Structure 1
Amino acid sequence: MYVFVDPLCPECWSLEPYIKKLTIEYGRFFTIQPIVSGHLNHLNKDQFDKPIKLRDIWEKTAKRTGMSCDGDIWIDNPISSPWIASLAVKAAELQGKKAGKVFLRRIQENAFLNKLNISEKDVLLQCAEEANLDVNEFENDLYSASAKKAFQCDLKLTQEMEVDYIPTIVFFNQMSDDQGIKISGLYPYDIYVRVLKEILQKSPIPSEKPPLEDFVAMYGSIATKEVAVVYDWTVAKAEKEMKKLQLKRKVSKLPAKYGNFWNYLL
């Protein structure tokens, strides 16, 4: 699965619950390859100089999808060089694909929830620390030729696969010569499952979901919305179950503009 994303795209952020659920239920059948695509969508490309417009887009997406993103960042602390965040993801990936995925999540959290300017070096170093990267190595790699080349490769792949909107997922079956299937935009979960089954040419049984505490521990930080999607609960039910973990001092609550996030306490 190639997942084409932009760290600052609110729809990419809103795809997170479905990616987690796909991974939990069917992750034994695929690997995820995040591709950093830059600012493809017209509302990303043309409007970084229109902060009020960007704020409104973020706020509407949060209300529609349930994944909180605070659009006030574009008024209070606008991100000056959005492409630096994409380059930083590739620098993080030089420490391994898993490290890159965790780092991507941390910069998304800091942008969408904490309203931090993730094009600033100090913020990126903070994200690297939160992602348990080797911070010195990350700092050396940030503007390196290797990171720039990796970013250019992602942009080239985006072009070759004719991806013109993000998020986009392209499903490939390595055991088949058939063309991949491309899904652009945000869709209900069952659409992704249907496409996965078509690519696999079979209907696999979904894996059993882990206990909630194990799920939160796996990711470290989780939104109530993500819990609701993964466990097929209402948001109210998910909130109630997370509060039980909070009472057991397993998680701490991070109130966001739209809904809550939870940090796992080691």
Structure 2
Amino acid sequence: MYENGSSAASMELYVFIDPLCPECWALEPAIKKLKMEYGRYLKLNLVLANNLEPLHSSCGSKHRSLMKEMAQAYNETGCRTGMPCDGDVWYKNPAPAPYDAMAAIKAAGLQGKVIGAKYLRRVREALFLHKENIADQQVLIDCAMRVSGMDVDEFVRDLHSDTTKKALDNDRKTAEEMDIRSTPTIVFFNEDIDEPGLKVEGAYRYEIYEDLLREMSGEKLEKCPPIPLEEFVAFYSLVATKEIAVVYDMKQEEAHREMKKLQLQQKVEEIPTKHGSIWRSVAAMS
């Protein structure tokens, strides 16, 4: 149910994200649910794109204005979507530019898609939840140390390698070829090579993506049943109440109650944030 693109995959999705973009972060619950319910039909390609002006290119009042704008965007996204996202990071530990984080994500991806996906998640947690500067190399290395199975020494060597630079350049070219103007954007392709892809800009509720998937596939898609909630949390190590609510078709209040039950069984621990709780699997910590 977590496999990304089996031999029977009939749909290919290109998901364009910016690691600093709060709307891309808010898309996470829908992506998790697509992978769980329809993963056997999908090949997901995560492509890094950047549309934000680097902070180091601005100064004085413009610099302060940009930081305030980003902080407001983070807090607004957190309030509106329920995905924890703290704008205070832009006052305490602002990332001057996304390049270092993007390079680190591509370097991690050289160790395989699973390692790359888990590393991306740790980087986003560092930014959106822990308010850390993801342009800081030590923060990026610390994220690598929190990924089970990752070779941290190899990752450090790859950070500034030509292979990583080429991978970043390939993402840039892909974004240009598909005329990506904003993030998040998902481009859907089916098996018909003569049919153009369908581009969806912005973050929407899960049902929109599900309907598009079913419509474009041209076949009857069977949903995979959800796995037990405890296994879901253990697989991802750290999840937000909003992600649980979307994946398991619950209201956030119900999702919070279910997680409280697991907390009483000492299977998870709750970490409150400004915009909702996140839950850490005790099994993943041991």
TM-score range, shorter chain: over 0.9
Look up the match of 2:276: 259
SS in 2 for 1:2: strand
Aligned to 1:170: 187
The structure-2 alpha-carbon separation of the partners of 1:46 and 1:84, relative to structure 1 and needing over 3 Å to count, comes to closer
Q: TM-score, normalised by structure 2?
A: 0.89
Provide structure 1 residue ranges, at least 5 long, that are not aligned to the other structure: none
Give the TM-score taking structure 1 as reference length: 0.95
1:197-236 alignment runs, 5 A limit: 197-236=214-253
Which secondary structure does the structure 2 equivalent of 1:249 belong to? coil
Alignment check: 8 A CA contact 2:271 2:279 kept: yes
Query: How large is the Cα RMSD of the aligned pairs?
Result: 1.3
Runs of 4+ in 1 over 2 A off after TM superposition: 44-49, 174-177
Distance in 2 (CA, whole Å) between partners of 1:205 and 1:196 is 12
For the residue of structure 2 that corresponds to 1:31, the secondary structure is: strand
Alignment of 1:79-158 (within 5 A): 79-132=95-148, 133-158=150-175
Q: Which runs of 5+ in 2 are unaligned?
A: 1-12
Q: How far apart are the structure 2 equivalents of 1:137 and 1:12?
A: 28
Structure 1, residues 10-46: CA drift from partner, whole Å, max 9, x if none? 00000000001111111110021110112x2xxx337
User: 1:110 and 1:27 mapped to 2: Cα distance?
Assistant: 27
Amino acid at match of 1:116: E
In the alignment, the residues of structure 1 paired with residue 235 and residue 43 of structure 2 have an alpha-carbon distance, to the nearest angstrom, of 17
Q: In the alignment, is residue 45 of structure 1 matched against residue 57 of structure 2?
A: no
Preserved contact between residue 113 and residue 257 of structure 1 (Cα < 8 Å): no
Give, in angstroms, the shift of residue 81 of structure 1: 2.8
Cα distance between partner residues in 2 of 1:263 and 1:130: 13
Using the TM superposition, give the Cα deviation of residue 121 of structure 1 relative to its aligned residue in structure 2, in angstroms.
Answer: 0.8
CA–CA distance in structure 1, aligned partners of residues 53 and 91 of structure 2: 18
Identity %: 45
Which one of 77, 98, 101 corresponds to residue 61 of structure 1?
Answer: 77
| 1:66, distance to aligned residue in structure 2 (A) | 0.7
Indicate conservation of the 8 Å contact 2:54/2:98, yes or no.
no
**Inter-partner Cα distance in structure 2 for 1:46 and 1:100:** 24
Post-superposition Cα deviations, 1:193-215, rounded to whole Å, max 9, x if no partner, equal 11101221124232211111111
Aligned to 2:8: none
Match 1:191 to one of 203, 208, 223: 208
